[in-house]
A and B are shown apart, each in its own frame.
Chain A
């Protein structure tokens, strides 16, 4: 419990913003491992034609996922991203962004 609390607080601090959700890094990690890792890599370093996510600000990651969720195209891999993003809630998006920015700054 202590660890979870620490990680959540850390995520909020790293993301540098006060959002409607207290980010859950464990939930973000689960989503990342299940939906993002196969293309973006185990360290979010990017692979092949799939872009690097490490080092990207949380705001950009959230904004981009929200855009894909709306079905809007951003770049040539939109067809891959839109179906993934469509399934995500606002909380999911915050959690994924928090996990990436915390684990792969």
Chain B
């Protein structure tokens, strides 16, 4: 185990914020924070770890994008449970589960009644349908956590990008969404999906990309879902670009998402039942003409960097002119797009001033003048959870990476998976 501690510090984001937000986000006050963090490597040498989910005793299920689902037991032993096609050493293998580009085995969630029903859920790309789709699999874990059985695909129609297109990151599997989380408030499963670089999907009433689905554990729509008339009733919100982060406010249980921006404006948005995220990259509308492969998501000038505010004016992440009632983001990452892709709330007195704050994993590679952004942001909201009041970059007691997942464990520590192949544990400690 590698362990060391470091004092975290607050960075002066307020000045940058005041002049940069595209929306009427209130000015931000700096908050002092002296939380210190201890660090250990939980697992390393993994293949693209994507997500984690815990049992109360610390047992940790985790996914690797091209390998499958495994579990880390409190003893330190790892059991490989469900392998994807071609993966070796797994108790069970499902040859239809495939990976390509951003797609593969993504999110994992534990059933709130796991103790009784032994159920867990994973989001994965599958070749069982033609063309391929993303599915949400319900699985049952045996008593000694060595195998899974009784696979039931409770969602089988989340679209997958099949073919390469003329866009940055334009390979198959792009904009694949993939986070799944149970809301402790209503008990439903929330599933986040992406637009596949297909401009028809975000505002489509029936295609399940670019949505946040709210379903029960059989895949049925939550009865209170309130999408517009004609929409698939599983839709909780729609009009998103590529949602990979979702967390629930610890006081209100309101779902809040984190979304990748299109060369500009990563967004944090408080969801409203039936709401529209305002993403609509169709050509020949909103002042735009034709776009490469009928998708304006990176236009204009999609192959080179340009001023992010000019880009945002041409192709808004949240188009409030076309959709005045769209859900306004509460944070836009100072107008940058740096791969904000996971979210969690820190809870417990051990976090000091950060108790109740949201953390966001950022994976920015740096391109076209965008600064590299590989960090964890600590986002403090107002009491109602409706506005951002402070953003602090966590000073890391280890090397930065592409922070793919952030999950608080039952021990109160923050666990984070990085694309570099590790799962880290960050534990606050008294100074």
Question: Which residues of A are in contact with B by a Cβ distance under 8 Å?
Answer: 38-39, 41-43, 45, 47-50, 75-77, 79-80, 82-83
Beyond A38-B374, A48-B419, is A79–B399 a contact (Cβ under 8 Å)?
A: no
Question: Which residues of B, 372-431, contact A by the 8 Å Cβ criterion?
Answer: 372, 374, 399, 402, 419-421
Chain B residues lying within 8 Å of A47, measured Cβ to Cβ, are 48, 402, 419-420
Tell me, rounded to whole Å, the shortest Cβ–Cβ distance linking A86 to chain B. Answer: 10
Tell me, rounded to whole Å, the shortest Cβ–Cβ distance linking A66 to chain B. Answer: 19
Q: Once bound together, how far apart are the Cα atoms of A75 and B102, in whole Å?
A: 14
B352: Cβ under 8 A from any A Cβ: no
Q: Which of A42, A45, A77, A83 contacts B399 (CB 8 A)?
A: A42
Q: Which of B102, B304, B305 contacts A49 (CB 8 A)?
A: B102
Give the residue among A47, A48, A83 with the most B Cβ atoms within 10 A.
Answer: A48
Q: Which of A41, A77, A82, A83 contacts B419 (CB 8 A)?
A: A41
B164: Cβ under 8 A from any A Cβ: yes
User: Is B402 a contact partner of A48 (Cβ separation < 8 A)?
Assistant: yes
Binary contact readout B335-372 vs A (1 if CB under 8 angstroms, 0 otherwise): 00000000000000000000000000001111110001
Q: Once bound together, how far apart are the Cα atoms of A79 and B173, in whole Å?
A: 17
Beyond A42-B399, A47-B402, A48-B102, is A79–B167 a contact (Cβ under 8 Å)?
A: yes
User: Is B365 a contact partner of A39 (Cβ separation < 8 A)?
Assistant: yes
B168: Cβ under 8 A from any A Cβ: yes
Chain B residues lying within 8 Å of A42, measured Cβ to Cβ, are 399, 420
Question: Which residues of B, 167-218, contact A by the 8 Å Cβ criterion?
Answer: 167-174
Chain B residues lying within 8 Å of A48, measured Cβ to Cβ, are 48, 102, 363, 402, 419
B101: Cβ under 8 A from any A Cβ: yes
Q: Once bound together, how far apart are the Cα atoms of A82 and B304, in whole Å?
A: 9
B91: Cβ under 8 A from any A Cβ: no
Beyond A42-B399, A48-B102, is A77–B169 a contact (Cβ under 8 Å)?
A: yes
Beyond A39-B365, A48-B102, is A79–B302 a contact (Cβ under 8 Å)?
A: yes
Q: Once bound together, how far apart are the Cα atoms of A12 and B365, in whole Å?
A: 30
B27: Cβ under 8 A from any A Cβ: no
Tell me, rounded to whole Å, the shortest Cβ–Cβ distance linking B407 to chain A. Answer: 19
B128: Cβ under 8 A from any A Cβ: no
Beyond A42-B420, A45-B421, is A83–B367 a contact (Cβ under 8 Å)?
A: yes
Chain A residues lying within 8 Å of B173, measured Cβ to Cβ, are 49
A-B contact pairs, 19 of them (CB 8 A): A38-B365, A38-B366, A41-B420, A42-B399, A43-B420, A47-B402, A48-B102, A49-B102, A49-B174, A76-B170, A76-B172, A77-B169, A79-B168, A79-B169, A79-B170, A79-B302, A80-B168, A83-B303, A83-B304
Question: Which residues of B are in contact with A by a Cβ distance under 8 Å?
Answer: 48, 101-102, 164, 167-174, 302-305, 363-368, 372, 374, 399, 402, 419-421
User: Is B420 a contact partner of A80 (Cβ separation < 8 A)?
Assistant: no
Beyond A41-B420, A45-B421, A49-B171, is A83–B365 a contact (Cβ under 8 Å)?
A: no
Nearest B residue to A84 via CB reads: B367
Chain A residues lying within 8 Å of B170, measured Cβ to Cβ, are 76, 79
Tell me, rounded to whole Å, the shortest Cβ–Cβ distance linking A29 to chain B. Answer: 16
User: Is A76 a contact partner of B171 (Cβ separation < 8 A)?
Assistant: yes
Give the residue among A42, A45, A79 with the most B Cβ atoms within 10 A.
Answer: A79
Add 20 more A-B contacts to A38-B374, A48-B402, A49-B169 (CB < 8 A): A38-B364, A38-B366, A38-B372, A39-B365, A41-B419, A45-B421, A47-B419, A47-B420, A48-B48, A49-B102, A76-B164, A76-B169, A76-B170, A76-B174, A79-B170, A79-B302, A80-B168, A80-B169, A80-B365, A83-B303
Tell me, rounded to whole Å, the shortest Cβ–Cβ distance linking B83 to chain A. Answer: 20
Tell me, rounded to whole Å, the shortest Cβ–Cβ distance linking B328 to chain A. Answer: 29
Tell me, rounded to whole Å, the shortest Cβ–Cβ distance linking A87 to chain B. Answer: 13
Tell me, rounded to whole Å, the shortest Cβ–Cβ distance linking A44 to chain B. Answer: 11
Nearest B residue to A71 via CB reads: B303
Chain A residues lying within 8 Å of B399, measured Cβ to Cβ, are 42
Q: Once bound together, how far apart are the Cα atoms of A86 and B172, in whole Å?
A: 26
Nearest B residue to A43 via CB reads: B420
Nearest A residue to B364 via CB reads: A38
Q: Once bound together, how far apart are the Cα atoms of A79 and B303, in whole Å?
A: 5
User: Is B305 a contact partner of A83 (Cβ separation < 8 A)?
Assistant: yes
Q: Once bound together, how far apart are the Cα atoms of A38 and B402, in whole Å?
A: 8
Chain A residues lying within 8 Å of B364, measured Cβ to Cβ, are 38
User: Is A75 a contact partner of B402 (Cβ separation < 8 A)?
Assistant: no
Q: Once bound together, how far apart are the Cα atoms of A51 and B170, in whole Å?
A: 14
Tell me, rounded to whole Å, the shortest Cβ–Cβ distance linking A73 to chain B. Answer: 9
Give the residue among B172, B374, B421 with the most A Cβ atoms within 10 A.
Answer: B421
Q: Once bound together, how far apart are the Cα atoms of A49 and B197, in whole Å?
A: 15
